[in-house]
Structure formats: C-alpha cells, structure tokens
Structure 1
Amino acid sequence: MPVFLLTNDDGYFSEGIRSLREELKSLGRVITVAPDRNLSGVGHSLTFSMPLRIRRIDEDFWTVIGGTPADCVHLGYYVMLEGKKPDMVCSGINEGPNLGEDITYSGTVSGAMEGRILGIPSVAFSAFGGESKNFSEIAKVAKRVVIEVLEKGIPEDTYLNVNIPDLPQDQIKGFLITKQGRRAYKEKVLKLLDPGKKPLYW
C-alpha cells in the first residue's frame, strides 16, 4: 500500500487539499501536513527564525502553526514518518493555476520541489477555471496522474507541476507535458494611507 505525504499552500482547511486527500486515501495511506493559514506566494521558504508547533486535525492529518509548505514537507518526513520516505509527495490542489513565473512564487509548487530535494517523487496540483471550482472532480483527475507516476515513475531530479482545468473528467482527453512558459503580469503597487496618514503599500 503506497504512502503519500500531502501538503499545500492554501491552508489545511482548503477544499482543494481535502478533496485530494479523499481521493488519495482510496490508493493508500495519506499523511497530511499543511499550513495553518493561506500562504499563497510564499515561495520556497523554510522557517529558521522561530519555532514551529504542530496541531492534530484528524487521523494522519496535522497543521503546522506558522509553517510554510516546505516546512510541512520536512516535518511530515522527519517527524510524522520518522525519516521513512513516502512513495510520493503531493502538493495542492491549489485554488488557481501555477503557470510560467508563478512557480517561483508558488508555495504549492515549492511543496513538491522540497519533496524532490529530499529524494521523493513529487507532484504539485493546481486548478484553473471559474471562481467556484469542482474540487472533487479535479481531484479525480489528479488521482489519474498519481497512478501514472506510481506505475511509471518520473526521472530523478524532476518533479511535476500539473495544472488541471475545471471540467468534467470525461472532457479531459489526456495530458500534455510541456516546458515552463513566461507569464506577463500587469500588477500595480497601491500606495495608501493608514488612519495616521502614514503610507502603506498593497
């Protein structure tokens, strides 16, 4: 029976991680270790400046108080699994896509990257579509990828970043492996004033 280490960057309460957890449980044991809050955009960071605390949510399910996705992978591996490698690290399902330069900022992708650094086959899953996503359907598609990786493996020093459209399973005809693209951002920094008329930036 395979063992999975599951994390995300949207927080332990997100619909994406809970849907993926349920699908993976049909394949094996799922050790879930996720941040206590939304950490979208935190990137591949580890916490060195403060201690971390772990709180149990359910059987094989913990949240890390103040921890990043990479911290969660470390604690899952070294504490919950006591240094025994799982068969796979899965990260997600993120609530939006991770495309182009997104992957350098993404805590979701960084969870998979950290797993790969530890020598574990790893996959990051992200969803794209409208505001209201059907995560249970997206998780079923993610499960198909997981089964493929379990059966065929992935090359050493490689992890997968998988973006899944919010479509019914029967409308997804297959998977395409591609290279990382570029993404054009049109973001602005807003300069605002706090109640004391001091500047702040959003």
Structure 2
Amino acid sequence: MNILISNDDGIHAKGIEVLHDCLKEAGHNVYVIAPAKEESGTGHGVTLHRPLRLQKINKNNIHFGYAVDGKPSDCIKLGYWGVFKDKKIDMIISGINRGENLGTDVLYSGTVSAAAEGALSGVRSIAVSLYKPSENPNYETAGKFLVKFLEEIDELEFPKESLLNINVPDLKFEDILGYKYTKQGDRKYIDNFIERDDPRGDKYYWLGGEVCETGDDPNYDFNVVKSNYISVTPINLDLTDYKFLSNLKGEYNK
C-alpha cells in the first residue's frame, strides 16, 4: 500500500520513526509529512493567516520525509493535496503517539485530528497511540501490531468520514493479550490552573488536569488497555446527536 504518515509529536519523534520503519519493512511505500516541532493538544486546528513552509528531512543521510511549520491537520492537507498529490494514497496513519488518546482526548489530540483530516479527505485513516508510555516506550509493539492489523483489514471499507483510534499498552509485544473493538469511554479531565507571578508582577497560569474515568463497562477503551489488550475504537466525524434531534423535533417542532 501507499501509506501517508504524520503525527503531533513532531517529525523527529521516535514514534513516527518506528512507524515508518515497521511499515517499510512490511513492504509498504511510506510517505512522511509531519510537524517540524511538537504540536500536541492542538486539536483540528489549521493555519489560515500565513504560508506553510516545508523542509526536507534526512535521517542517516537518507531522505525521511518533510517537516511542516504547521499543525497535524495542515500536514495531512498539504501532504495529500499537495506534496504527494501524484501518489495514490491508500491509507493515512497518524502516530505512534507518546501517550494515550482515550475518551475525550480525541477532541484535543493532534494525533487523532491528523487521522480525522484523512477521513475527511475520503482516505482510510488510523490514529495510533501508546498507553501510559514508560521512560523507554515500546513503540515497536504498536508498530508490529499495526503491520499485522493492516493485513487483516486490507479489504475493509471504512464508512464515510470514519476512522479507527488505536491505543496500545506500553508492553513488550509478547505480553499483549490481543485486541478488542471498543467504544469511546467516559474519560474526561478536571482542569486546574497553577497561578504564578512573572518578574513584572503580572500573573500567568499553567494548565493542569486530573483524569476522571467513569464507568466499569468492559468495552470502554480505557478499561480495555488497562487489561493489557489493544483498544480499537471506530470514530465517526458526524457529530449530530440523532436521539437529541429526534426529541427536539418531537417536542418543539409543532
């Protein structure tokens, strides 16, 4: 397959390098375009009021890919519709992210947003993240799994504007118990701010946050990864609440 890959940790991150190498070793044609620096938590933002700059990146004196001074969604737009427009891209993969993307993380995540941009472009797209990464993360586990998983879904058609959000426990490959198809869990952040004073006496704030996970549903993504299984969650970008819509029509459309 022709696979376009990106991330939000930046083009020099270990995760995207491992992803690139695993896919290449499996015989895929891999095209890399990623942010020049870390863009975690930028969501689905795009750059509108200035031009994007592209830089060719070599690793070990071999062309690796292109760095963009923009956000993950910018990278996919520029890669798919611009830099690699002459390639027939079969799949877009974002990752391997250093850190999980579970529950409401998908709304903030640049990793998931890059895959979402791929889905909006009509390409089968996947986001891959590592759950609770250690000091020396096992990115190879996620890479090996993804190679096998792509073989299994080779002929699978994704629904319109849908993508797969994959979270892999930070374990050795042989310690992974398998994978399960899951649903987005009720996992949110209770935000708090650390207040400080700068040298001029003006206040500034660091955003912090405590994770709040609610529910013991075994099919929630966060419960599955805690059990040493890989979580594979289908996400659709149609945010319409159809049940709410039906209720509104029934109660107020009179």
TM bucket by the smaller chain? over 0.9
Q: How far did 1:138 drift? A: 2.4
Alignment partner, residue 13 of structure 1: 12
8 Å Cα contact 2:128-2:142 kept in structure 1 = no
Matched, 1:86 2:86: no
- Contiguous gaps of at least 5 residues in structure 1: none
Alignment partner, residue 39 of structure 1: 39
User: C-alpha separation between the residues in 1 aligned to 2:160 and 2:123?
Assistant: 9
Query: What amino acid sits opposite 2:5 in the alignment?
Result: L
Equivalent residues in 2 for 1:68-87, closer than 5 Å: 68-82=71-85, 84-87=87-90
Q: How far did 1:147 drift? A: 2.5
Query: What amino acid sits opposite 1:43 in the alignment?
Result: G
Q: How far did 1:84 drift? A: 4.3
Greater CA drift, 145-154 or 11-20: 145-154
* SS of aligned partner of 1:159: strand
Q: Which aligned segments of 4 or more residues in structure 1 are displaced greater than 6 angstroms? A: none
1:46-78 CA distances to partner (integer Å, 9 max, x unpaired)?
11011110000032500002x111100011112
Q: Matched residue pairs, number?
A: 200
Matched, 1:109 2:108: no
When the two chains are superposed, the root-mean-square deviation of aligned CA atoms in Å is 1.5
Q: How far did 1:7 drift? A: 0.3
Equivalent residues in 2 for 1:85-164, closer than 5 Å: 85-129=88-132, 130-164=134-168
Greater CA drift, 31-40 or 125-134: 125-134
Report which of the two structures shows the higher radius of gyration computed on alpha carbons.
Answer: 2
Alignment partner, residue 197 of structure 1: 201
TM-score when scaled to structure 2?
Answer: 0.75
User: C-alpha separation between the residues in 2 aligned to 1:177 and 1:170?
Assistant: 20
Query: What amino acid sits opposite 2:177 in the alignment?
Result: K
Alignment partner, residue 52 of structure 2: 52
* SS of aligned partner of 2:11: coil
User: C-alpha separation between the residues in 2 aligned to 1:156 and 1:170?
Assistant: 34
- Contiguous gaps of at least 5 residues in structure 2: 207-254
Q: Of the two structures, which has the highest relative contact order with CA contacts closer than 8 Å and spacing of 6 or more?
A: 1
User: C-alpha separation between the residues in 2 aligned to 1:142 and 1:126?
Assistant: 11
8 Å Cα contact 1:77-1:85 kept in structure 2 = no
* SS of aligned partner of 1:33: strand
Q: How far did 1:9 drift? A: 0.2
- Identity of aligned pairs, percent? 40
- Closer, same or farther: CA 156–148 of 1 in aligned 2, 3 Å: farther
Q: How far did 1:189 drift? A: 1.0
User: C-alpha separation between the residues in 1 aligned to 2:150 and 2:110?
Assistant: 20
Alignment partner, residue 176 of structure 2: 172
